[in-house]
Structure 1
Amino acid sequence: MINPQWIRSFGVLAELGSFTRAADQLGVTQAAVSQHIRQLEQRLGLLLIRRSRGIELTPAGRALLDYGTEIDQADRRLRARLDGADAKGGEVGIITPGSLGLLLYPLLLDLQEADRGLVIRHRFAPDHEVLDAILKTRFELGIVTLKPDDPRITASPFTREPLELVVPAGEEVKHWSDLERLGFIDHPDGQAMAIRLLSLRFPRNPGVRSLPIRGFTNQVGLILAPVARGFGFTVIPRYARLAFAQPDAIRVVDGEHPIVDTLWLIHRAEWPLSAHAEHVVARLRGLIAGDGGALL
């Protein structure tokens, strides 16, 4: 690795064009600056040509100058990330389940548009991947559907999300036979969600697995597309339904026995959130509450 002080001396010399002025600005002797340049040229080749009116950088010298600029920029980014003092500037990484992510991602973009210093990095993932990403510090913030019991994780209630029975617009569901007629649009969590909700709505039903399957997709944003076309019904979390672009083509069947899950905001317990992460969390809580979400 090249000595950072040598690179610093070269950068100041390139800027001022004089060994004497460079030494004065750096607070060292002219001989020290010359020694730094010799050390660099022994490693990298000829970096500058001395002229009567100053110096001229060689291609290798210009490359080293660019390298020094990149180091300075990386150093500033590191200091800003470690400091985290700017609430409206910096990178915020958040990883969430698919349903809530459909709601949050446009809100995150709104925040980034309002505060251009923010850099939003978002990923959709199931609970186990969210927890792993937080533990390995790949993301600063995570949201999960089950509260972790790991002492390295701090968890706080973020919002509540009901499961919903969703059918094509105009359809009625009063009996189990209506579900059998419609058929089920399945997804990776579909069977588990349907068992939880339908076992309460229809307590003596023959079982979700007895229903005909009319379709399947693993993309949370597309689950309601076949429902909107009349191919069947499904059971999904509310935020996935709210994000669907054709609300007039579907209908939620209300029931007496709601299933409501608490969603948990998690982060590492050993250190506090950065100022910009706290800013994003506060804004998201307000936006969800203002949009009719069940904020905790």
Structure 2
Amino acid sequence: MLNPTWLKTFVTLVDTGHFTKTAEKLFMTQPGVSQHINKLEKACGQALIQRDKKSFDLTEQGLLVYQYAEQLVKNEHELLEQLGFDNPFVGHCRLACSGALALILYPKLLEIQVAHSQLIVQLKAAPNHQILHEIQNGITDLGIVTDVPNSSLFDIQEIGREQLCLVLPAKVEIEDDSGDLLTKLGLINHPDAKHYLSLYFEQSHESDFSHLSIEQLPVAGYVNQISQILEPVAKGLGFTVLPKSAVDMFQDPQCLKVFQPQKPVIETLYRVKKRNRVLPARFETVISTLQGHFDNLSC
């Protein structure tokens, strides 16, 4: 890398056209200016000026170095301007949440992007552990998870709550032992199914579920596309567990039956980012939209 001090001396010399004026402007001696130019020429391996007594002309190589140095100055000015400029409607926002939540939130985030075309929202659907890993490693900026992570690694804020639904085919009859019914039907598995199911068994206070082992439940199918998870349930092929908002969006609700537990099962959602990281102003626009959604749920 060329010495920036030598480049500055060279640019000043070209701009002033005089060694003495350069020395005065840079608070140097004239021999000091000559020394910088000589060192720069040696570093470049080329003569940069053609000396003629007290005047000089730029060589072709000197013109290239001058243009290069000018571009460096311009780049530095632009960088400093960008560092001091934090537009709430410009830049990329990388977010991650569960697939079910992504299905609900993405249309709302798209509305932001339609209103502010330079605000680019990148939303990834992923399980809790992957979201936390990517936040910690700088791959994702902001996440929504359902388990409280390590507070020494993350800044955590409760953002809202949502009901979980155990969804059955509409044609089934709820038996005396609903646990046996689930075993007969089999689980329509998806990336968050076991997490949701463990919460459901824990919070619902249904004695029929107490003897069930999630790992031993038969699996009747697997879908990783959130919009398709309820399709096999609607066709009578199994049961699953999803947030109520995802169930409400299904296009054929008459084909589904939502089990009514003794106690509603509520999932708490947490907004997380890397500990002590200050997010740019554009994230306030996104966070406000997310919070608005969960505030409406609680109304």
TM-score, normalised via structure 2 length:
0.68
SS at 2:160's partner residue? strand
Pairing partner for 1:293 from 286, 294, 297: 297
Q: RMSD between aligned alpha carbons?
A: 4.5
Instruction: Evaluate the alpha carbon distance shift between residue 71 and residue 182 of structure 1 in structure 2; reply closer, same or farther with a 3 A threshold.
Output: same
Q: CA deviation at 1:70?
A: 9.0
TM-score, normalised via structure 1 length:
0.68
User: Which structure's CA Rg is the greater one?
Assistant: 2
Separation in structure 1 between the aligned mates of residue 9 and residue 168 of structure 2, nearest angstrom: 70
* More displaced 10-residue stretch of structure 1: 261-270 or 91-100: 91-100
Instruction: Evaluate the alpha carbon distance shift between residue 19 and residue 120 of structure 1 in structure 2; reply closer, same or farther with a 3 A threshold.
Output: same
Q: Which amino acid aligns with 1:255?
A: Q
Contact 1:89 1:276 in 2 (8 A): yes
**Which blocks of at least 5 consecutive residues in structure 1 are unaligned?**
none
Instruction: Evaluate the alpha carbon distance shift between residue 214 and residue 152 of structure 1 in structure 2; reply closer, same or farther with a 3 A threshold.
Output: closer
Q: Which amino acid aligns with 2:256?
A: R
Deviations along 1:50-69, one digit per CA (max 9) or x if unpaired, are 9xxx9989997799489749
Q: Which amino acid aligns with 1:119?
A: I
Matched, 1:278 2:284: yes
Name the residue aligned to 1:255.
260
Q: CA deviation at 1:78?
A: 5.6
Contact 1:19 1:34 in 2 (8 A): no
5 Å-filtered alignment, 1:7-26, equals 19-20=15-16
Q: Which amino acid aligns with 2:115?
A: A
Aligned residues: 282
Name the residue aligned to 2:55.
none
SS at 1:235's partner residue? strand
Instruction: Evaluate the alpha carbon distance shift between residue 48 and residue 157 of structure 1 in structure 2; reply closer, same or farther with a 3 A threshold.
Output: same
Matched, 1:75 2:76: no
5 Å-filtered alignment, 1:1-296, equals 1-4=1-4, 19-20=15-16, 64=68, 68=72, 71-72=75-76, 75-76=79-80, 79-80=83-84, 85-168=86-169, 170-175=170-175, 176=178, 178-180=181-183, 182-197=185-200, 200=204, 202-205=206-209, 207=212, 212-242=218-248, 246-248=250-252, 250-256=255-261, 257-289=263-295, 292-294=296-298
Q: CA deviation at 1:238?
A: 3.1
Contact 2:104 2:245 in 1 (8 A): yes
SS at 2:267's partner residue? strand
Q: CA deviation at 1:79?
A: 0.7
Calculate percent identity across the aligned residue pairs.
Answer: 30
